[in-house]
């Protein structure tokens, strides 16, 4: 496995070697503006995130809860284009040297063109894509182009996934496996719960890929809990909420940085 995904693999391996889970932050491109979104990704890295997922805002999100939908709406009303997403990846990666993924629904890639999207993402320094709504059995075209450009393909598994299905999904993916901790949409939760732990256990039985848990983690205590059984802890809505609730962009960036630092402590306490 060469190319940009190698940085992702190395980052996850480095966290494991340190005896801890990786901290993965999610922030949508173009929110609050394209420039502000780039600064937010940098702030998450500065605070202690190992990896950042840059969201490609979509008008019909199936996985995103109200907080991320609000941010996506702001980005789309601001005229966000895929070229702005690529710029976000490029500038954040160049400034930090760290792995940046794109999380996107399939339709925008399909319309844009798979070869065009994968070549531009690789050229921007992107490590790969998380594709929450692309069924593995329909992913051959994407994977062919992603492999050609050295990009990782991260698939999402859910508590409802049967063991046989998990094996099919994990065999097709690279980088890591995104374990959705519960059924439903993104958003912060009171508790991440035992469903996630069971899903990680079942997923790990099918693959050597790291298994990272998202959907619901919002504070250091939850990050610590998830880090005790997962290879990575994915946090999105809590970061976006810091930006939404802030009185201005500077305060929002400070909030993102502070939350990343808290969560980074949490993942280090988890193992």
Q: Report the interhelical angle of 237-245 vs 34-47 (nearest 10°).
A: 120
The pair phi, psi for residue 15, each rounded to 5°, is -60, -45
Q: What is the pLDDT of residue 185?
A: 45
Within 10 A of 59 (CB to CB), how many other CB atoms are there? Answer: 11
Region 238-251: what's the mean pLDDT? 95
Q: Quick one: fold of 4-269?
A: TIM Barrel (3.20.20)
What is the pLDDT of the chain when averaged over all its residues? Answer: 92
From edge to edge, which strands make up the β-sheet containing 232-235?
152-154, 128-130, 100-103, 51-55, 22-28, 232-235, 211-214, 177-180, 156-157
User: Is 53 annotated as catalytic?
Assistant: yes
pLDDT digits (tens, 9 = 90+) for 65-100: 788 888 989 898 999 999 999 999 999 999 999 999
Q: Which of 10, 35, 39, 53 is catalytic?
A: 53
Instruction: Kindly state the tokens that stand for 59.
Output: 């008008």
Q: Which of 50, 64, 72, 231 is catalytic?
A: 64
Is it the case that residue 183 has pLDDT exceeding 60? no
Which sequence spans correspond to the domains of the chain? 4-269
Nearest to 197, CA basis, from 160, 161, 163, 225: 225
pLDDT digits (tens, 9 = 90+) for 163-176: 999 999 999 999 99
| 27, β-bridge pairs | 54
Q: What is the pLDDT of residue 215?
A: 76
Within 10 A of 13 (CB to CB), how many other CB atoms are there? Answer: 13
Cis ω for the linkage preceding 32 (within 30 of 0): yes
The Cα-based distances of 5 to 23, 154, 240 in angstroms read: 17, 11, 26
Q: Is the whole-model pTM more than 0.85?
A: yes
């Amino acid at each position: 496995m060469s190319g940009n995904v190698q940085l992702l693999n190395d980052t996850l391996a480095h966290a494991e070697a340190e005896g801890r889970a990786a901290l993965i932050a999610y922030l949508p491109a173009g929110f609050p503006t394209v420039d502000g979104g780039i600064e937010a990704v940098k702030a998450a890295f500065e605070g202690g995130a190992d990896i950042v997922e840059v969201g490609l805002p979509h008008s019909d999100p199936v996985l995103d809860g109200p907080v991320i939908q609000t941010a996506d709406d702001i980005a789309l009303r601001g005229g966000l284009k895929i070229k702005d997403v690529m710029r976000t990846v490029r500038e954040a990666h160049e400034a930090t040297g760290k792995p940046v993924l794109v999380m996107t629904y399939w339709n925008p890639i399909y319309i844009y063109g798979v070869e065009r999207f994968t070549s531009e993402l690789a050229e921007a320094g992107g490590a790969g894509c998380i594709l929450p709504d692309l069924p593995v059995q329909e992913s051959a075209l994407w994977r062919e182009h992603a492999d050609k450009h050295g990009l990782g393909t991260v698939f999402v598994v859910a508590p409802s996934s049967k063991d046989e299905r998990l094996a099919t999904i994990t065999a097709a993916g690279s980088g890591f496996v995104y374990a959705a901790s519960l059924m439903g949409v993104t958003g912060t939760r009171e508790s991440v719960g035992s469903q996630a732990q069971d899903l990680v256990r079942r997923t790990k039985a099918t693959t050597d890929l790291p298994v990272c848990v998202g959907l619901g983690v919002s504070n250091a205590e939850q990050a610590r809990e998830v880090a005790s059984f997962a290879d990575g802890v994915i946090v999105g809505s809590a970061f976006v909420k810091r930006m939404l609730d802030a009185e201005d962009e500077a305060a929002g960036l400070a909030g993102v940085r502070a939350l990343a630092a808290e969560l980074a402590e949490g993942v280090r306490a988890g193992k």
